[in-house]
Structure 1
Amino acid sequence: MDTDAFVLAHGATWDRLEHLVKRRRSLTGAEVDELVDLYQRVSTHLSMVRSSAADPVLVGRLSGLVARSRAAVTGAHAPLSSEFIRFWTVSFPLVAYQAWRWWLASAAAFLVVAVVVGAWVAGSPEVQSTIGTPSDVARLVNEDFAAYYSENPAASFAFRVWVNNSWVAAQCIGFAVLLGLPIPYLLFQNAANVGVSGGLMFDAGRGDVFLGLLTPHGLLELTAVFLAAAVGMRLGWSVIAPGDRPRGQVLAERGRAVVSVAVGLVVVLLVSGLIEALVTPSPLPTFVRIAIGVAAEAAFLAYVVHFGRRAARAGETGDVRDAPDVVPTS
């Protein structure tokens, strides 16, 4: 398709439709009929432009015009509650579900690095000596590691944890603008830190304490970080391999998907922070605390799989641009 010729041929039609949409509250009967006719014609133009992989800027312009026209023709804007429900039952879980390969790969790589670093630290006194003096290491494994979870009031600690975890996830998402290249390094740093702590604790015979304190909140917390890393790297990869669609269109869609995940993870990390502040340092038996963490993780994964798979089977995209923007009228 010759985009310039197409714009020249139909630009006046688009301008007229935009004019009518702006005056939709004061249209005459004839103008209402004209609005409906132009809406149908411009919808056809949009389909033609999309199928021919034309300029993404033109696609965006026509998409917005068609959406506003549809609202004027078929009804009022959907209530905020509908958008809220759609976000949690379609947009967020679908994006998370579609990124499962990147998500799983991030988790596997993190686990491998943490285990390798932990085994290295546990089996090498020379490495431990570079981390700290024997007294420093003893204080860490016998006092500081456990005290970290209980030395501050629960409310302030939960807020600090939430902010810190949100910052890590935000970095993963923000690095998408750099093609996701810094994200593996960020994951490596966090995995190495977990491995160092675990290696020291296991070498001191306190591996049960390490797992008992880390598992309740760590499962959900790390899952959120892996998801943030997954969508960030997936967005970066779309620059390299956009498939058979225009690179700009793919970037726009996955960019909006990243925003959806960022919003959803705010709540997920809040739950993780509350578990870390209220459950991890609690006097509950270790198996109960771990069970709570496992239950939270299982609930989140079940939520993503159930709603994400259902949305995928229904042909949803999860893209906010494709969300219904009107309440149907009879």
Structure 2
Amino acid sequence: MDVDAYTARHGPEWQRLQRLVARASRLSGPEADELVTLYQRTATHLSTIRSSSPDPALVQRLSQLVAEARSAIAGVHTPAWKVAVRFLVAGFPAALYAGRRWWLCVSAVSVVLSLVVGAWVAGSPDVQSAIASPAEIRRLVDVEFEQYYSSAPAGSFAAQVWTNNAWIAAICLVSGILIVPVVSVLWQNVLNIGVTGGIMAGAGRLDLFFGLITPHGLLELTAVFVAAGAGLRLGWTLVDPGPLPRATAVAAAGRATVGMALGVALLLAVSGVIEAFVTPSGLPTWARIGIGVLAELAFVAYVWVLGRRAARAGETGDVDEAGDLLPTAG
């Protein structure tokens, strides 16, 4: 980004904001509204400069201006529902879009490894016998795999599934700075899917496997991959912080990861509802799979439409910047 051109374009707005801040106690109603609007725009400009072309002098200047403007508007806050809406339509999708290379790579590698493990298990009776006895395999194929999804009342089952998956995602996000725990979680996930799928395929019940796992699994696995990608991105930032000082880069990545945790929890809640109410339902297989595919396509559109738009507007998903955009004059 050309910092000089950006400054020339938005400098008048910054100067106007500075003048309004200087006489904040004597502003008219329209001027107070203008103060809030310019404050929000300047906070976005600051975010854009930080993420695209960090200029220490300009960042310092705008940070001070934003802080002064925030103090001038202190005591007036955006309602909580507006904060939540802004997070859903800007912060979270922007963070997803910014980290897309990480979670897409995690997704691709995990899927390929799961297929390799599944093919290995399906094609080797010796491997299957080492995993479980013939009676246990038959019980899994004929009863347990399908019965699992209706083993508890739908509401309780949804809560149980959400709690379990949220715990897995939390491990990926919290321990991402260490990298190794995330890789371990992903490998366990690969083994669980590959081994179960391989056993079902070896018994000729791959149709049942995909018929039951696809409706909720698409979005559920995507959420886990997003969490793992965010965790690995955080860990790699410690190794290679880029143009920013290591502490600054890691702190920004960590704050973005906190925002990702909230969004991932929502994704897992949706997949948990699908797993509890759609997967074990009496709907035809094509209908259940269709619901899962639609949920996944909605997520993809969410990232590539809202996420790309928010990222281009300067959003990064950094929760520390959210406060710079929350105050209003109402």
> Does the Cα contact within 8 Å between 1:71 and 1:77 map onto a contact in 2?
no
Identity %: 50
**Separation (CA, whole Å) in 2 of partners of 1:152 and 1:316:** 41
> Does the Cα contact within 8 Å between 1:162 and 1:269 map onto a contact in 2?
yes
> Match of 1:285?
284
**Separation (CA, whole Å) in 1 of partners of 2:133 and 2:321:** 58
1:89 and 2:80 correspond:
no
> Match of 1:186?
185
1:326 and 2:295 correspond:
no
**Separation (CA, whole Å) in 2 of partners of 1:74 and 1:174:** 34
Alignment of 1:94-243 (within 5 A): 94-178=94-178, 180-243=179-242
> Does the Cα contact within 8 Å between 2:177 and 2:238 map onto a contact in 1?
no
Higher gyration radius (CA): 1
> Match of 2:55?
51
- Give the alignment's TM-score, normalised by structure 2: 0.79
Q: Which runs of 4+ in 1 moved over 3 A?
A: 50-53, 65-68
Shift in Å, 1:68: 4.8
> Does the Cα contact within 8 Å between 2:92 and 2:259 map onto a contact in 1?
yes
**Separation (CA, whole Å) in 1 of partners of 2:144 and 2:225:** 27
**Separation (CA, whole Å) in 2 of partners of 1:109 and 1:244:** 29
Shift in Å, 1:265: 1.3
**Separation (CA, whole Å) in 1 of partners of 2:26 and 2:111:** 66
> Does the Cα contact within 8 Å between 1:173 and 1:232 map onto a contact in 2?
yes
SS in 1 for 2:290: helix
Compared CA separation, residues 325 and 284, structure 1 to 2 (3 A): closer
Q: Which amino acid in structure 2 is aligned with residue 228 of structure 1?
A: A
**Separation (CA, whole Å) in 1 of partners of 2:128 and 2:183:** 25
> Does the Cα contact within 8 Å between 1:67 and 1:325 map onto a contact in 2?
no
Alignment of 1:238-257 (within 5 A): 238-257=237-256
> Match of 2:18?
none
> Match of 2:30?
none
RMSD: 2.8
Q: Which amino acid in structure 2 is aligned with residue 166 of structure 1?
A: A
**Separation (CA, whole Å) in 1 of partners of 2:258 and 2:224:** 15
**Separation (CA, whole Å) in 2 of partners of 1:247 and 1:79:** 35
Answer with 311-320 or 127-136: which moved more.
311-320
> Does the Cα contact within 8 Å between 1:166 and 1:266 map onto a contact in 2?
yes
Question: Which protein, 1 or 2, shows the higher relative CO under an 8 Å CA cutoff with sep ≥ 6?
Answer: 2
**Separation (CA, whole Å) in 2 of partners of 1:278 and 1:271:** 11
Shift in Å, 1:102: 0.7
Q: Which amino acid in structure 2 is aligned with residue 291 of structure 1?
A: G
- Give the alignment's TM-score, normalised by structure 1: 0.79
Q: Deviations over 1:27-83 (max 9, x none)?
A: 899xxxxxx9xxxxxx9xxx9xx7349xx9xx7xx95x7555312325733332332
> Match of 2:11?
none
> Does the Cα contact within 8 Å between 2:177 and 2:236 map onto a contact in 1?
no
Compared CA separation, residues 81 and 154, structure 1 to 2 (3 A): closer
SS in 2 for 1:182: helix
Compared CA separation, residues 28 and 284, structure 1 to 2 (3 A): closer
**Separation (CA, whole Å) in 1 of partners of 2:166 and 2:215:** 18
Q: Deviations over 1:182-230 (max 9, x none)?
A: 2122101111111011011011110000000000000000000000001
> Does the Cα contact within 8 Å between 2:258 and 2:319 map onto a contact in 1?
no
> Match of 1:313?
312
SS in 1 for 2:302: helix
Answer with 84-93 or 205-214: which moved more.
84-93
> Match of 1:13?
none
Shift in Å, 1:305: 1.3
**Separation (CA, whole Å) in 2 of partners of 1:299 and 1:287:** 18
> Does the Cα contact within 8 Å between 2:177 and 2:232 map onto a contact in 1?
no
**Separation (CA, whole Å) in 1 of partners of 2:161 and 2:317:** 29
Compared CA separation, residues 188 and 28, structure 1 to 2 (3 A): same
Shift in Å, 1:181: 2.3
Q: Which amino acid in structure 2 is aligned with residue 283 of structure 1?
A: G
Q: Which amino acid in structure 2 is aligned with residue 254 of structure 1?
A: A
**Separation (CA, whole Å) in 2 of partners of 1:116 and 1:309:** 33
Compared CA separation, residues 153 and 79, structure 1 to 2 (3 A): closer
> Does the Cα contact within 8 Å between 2:162 and 2:268 map onto a contact in 1?
yes
